Amino acid sequence: MVVAARSGEALSRGGLGLHLFVVTPAEFKQTLSYDAPPAEIATPLAALWWAARGDWDKAHTLVMNDDSREAAWVHAYLHRVEGDLGNAAYWYRTAHRPMPGGALTDEWDGIVSGLGGPRS
């Protein structure tokens, strides 16, 4: 998962001067002890961070204001957490993802892992 610049692990992207570093899902989970998500992470990951901390409303507000497929995926997950499967199904279709039937914790882990890697 690529989130931000960090000394010693920076990667240039497209000559834009943007520097990124890679963290694992396990390292991302360690940030759940922070008071807020790392400022450098993308909106869908920040929403997952808030969801894991139990703030569904804050997570939902973040993804409602992001038109990306990644945000739609997290949006779908949040409605599944809420138990609104009809709404979740809409957002899974928008994200071009199948609606999973497994444990929510497994899905959270899968989304965190799936959002990893460099973006173009």
* Average pLDDT value for residue range 87-96: 98
Per-domain boundaries in the chain: 39-114
pLDDT digits (tens, 9 = 90+) for 5-57: 333 333 333 444 444 445 678 888 888 999 999 888 889 999 999 999 999 99
Q: Give me the residue label for tokens 């899902």.
A: 25
Task: State residue 12's pLDDT score.
Answer: 37
Task: Tell me if 85 sits within 8 A of 111, measured CB to CB.
Answer: no
Residue 97 reports pLDDT greater than 50: yes
Partners of 22 in beta bridges: 2
Residue 89 reports pLDDT greater than 60: yes
Beta strands in the chain (DSSP E): 11-13, 18-20
Residue 80 reports pLDDT greater than 50: yes
In percent, the amount of the chain with pLDDT more than 70 equals 77
Task: State residue 104's pLDDT score.
Answer: 96
User: How does residue 115 score in pLDDT terms, banded at 50, 70 and 90?
Assistant: confident
Residue 79 reports pLDDT greater than 80: yes
Task: Give the CATH fold of the 39-114 domain.
Answer: 1.25.40
Q: Give me the residue label for tokens 């994200």.
A: 95
| Closest by Cα among 58, 59, 84 to 71 | 59
